[in-house]
Structure 1
Amino acid sequence: DLTGLARVKEGRNPEPTASVIDTQSVKTSTNVPLTSQGTDAAKKIVGRKRGILTDTLGLILAVIVTAASLSENAVGIHLINQAKKTYPSISKSWVDTGFKNAMVEHGASLGVDVEVVHRKSDAPGFHVVKRRWVVERSLGWIMLRRRLARDYETLPTSSEAMIHIASIDNLAKRITDETTPTWRGTY
């Protein structure tokens, strides 16, 4: 398991005990069927919603891609079910305020303490939110892949596969301490 290797390299137990969950709505290309798209009313985006569950290092443990109209609770419940099957050791999870009581209650039924992390309402602009920055960084990493900047895939499962491929690249870099060769700085 590459995730276990990366965790051990960072001095962690190979089995994660905590996770962070978030979603991201992305626009779709013209070849995506309308049946697999939706409108995220909160973000005013027509497209798909990506949900990821990461460990505390930002390693992706579970992925789902759905129509953007699906609620964060529904996405979160699917993610925590998927992660709990693969990593039964997970007992804590942090989510943002988009996730409501249904997610907290479902997590409790699985033995996972789901904590909703609130933003500091008095602080204007960007600031680091407890534990949530890890999953935001992971979403940023996958957005670096040109193919994931927008959802081009006909099937949501193909989009999930592309996210897994980006995650494998990240894991390989962490395990081997190698970076992808770049043309920048060479003339």
Structure 2
Amino acid sequence: GTIENLGVHLHRMVREQAGRTAEPTACLIDAQSVKTASSVPIGTQGTDAGKKIVGRKRSIVVDTLGLLLLVIVTAASVSDNEAGKQLLTQLAADYPTITKAWVDTGYKTKAIEHGAALGIDVDVVPRNEQVKGFSVVPRRWVVERSFGWIMMHRRLARDYETKPAHSESMIRIAMISNLAKRVTGETPITWHNP
């Protein structure tokens, strides 16, 4: 709808301001599990066994600047692999210029093969197992920063929406706010200047 059109227009403007082509050729895919509010219907939630979070999962695709291209919100029990396949299908349809995607180790052979069938080279970027705790992972830090931008919006620190589609819209609106600030030269929101 209109929100998506505004997002696409601002996205192109920000890319061109950054000296990039209007249409991206590479992207990053990742997922974030978040807790849900008590008002969220049980049927739209699940448990992310790996992270031990009961709630929903936000799976996003961003370009190499960290700007949102696609988002789907599912029960947290949906595997990264399954959500990744859905995103890759939508990515091939909506962004035919993209031929490269970086993902973490949660995305397995099926997602990689699905991407290859669509003409997208899906490359797994593992974290350095030698480093304990937090470490900056090449390429993947970009999508992690995008999740940080999303979490700066208080309403998105937890999932309060009754329908997953409403959660997706709230994430798009938050990222459009980020794009508008970039286009106008206003500093994007950070932990230091909320």
Q: Give the TM-score of the pair, scaled to structure 2.
A: 0.91
Residue aligning to 2:166: 158
Residue aligning to 2:128: 120
How many residues are treated as equivalent by the alignment? 183
SS in 1 for 2:61: strand
Which stretches in structure 2 are left out of the alignment for 5+ residues? 1-8
Q: What is the correspondence of 1:91-130 to structure 2 with a 5 Å cutoff?
A: 91-130=99-138
The range that moved more, 6-15 or 172-181, is: 172-181
Contact 2:15/2:21, CA 8 A, preserved across alignment: yes
Residue aligning to 1:143: 151
> CA shift at 1:179, angstroms?
4.0
1:63 maps to 2:63: no
> CA shift at 1:125, angstroms?
2.2
Q: Give the TM-score of the pair, scaled to structure 1.
A: 0.94
The range that moved more, 71-80 or 9-18, is: 71-80
1:175 maps to 2:183: yes
CA displacement 1:89-146 (0-9 Å, x = unmatched): 0000000001100110000000000000011111222211110000000000000000
CA displacement 1:1-33 (0-9 Å, x = unmatched): 211111000000000000000000000001100
Contact 2:72/2:168, CA 8 A, preserved across alignment: yes
SS in 2 for 1:62: strand
CA distance in structure 2 between the aligned counterparts of 1:143 and 1:137, rounded to whole angstroms? 10
CA displacement 1:146-165 (0-9 Å, x = unmatched): 00000000000000000000
- Aligned-pair identity (%): 61
Q: Cα RMSD over matched residues?
A: 1.5
CA distance in structure 2 between the aligned counterparts of 1:65 and 1:122, rounded to whole angstroms? 32
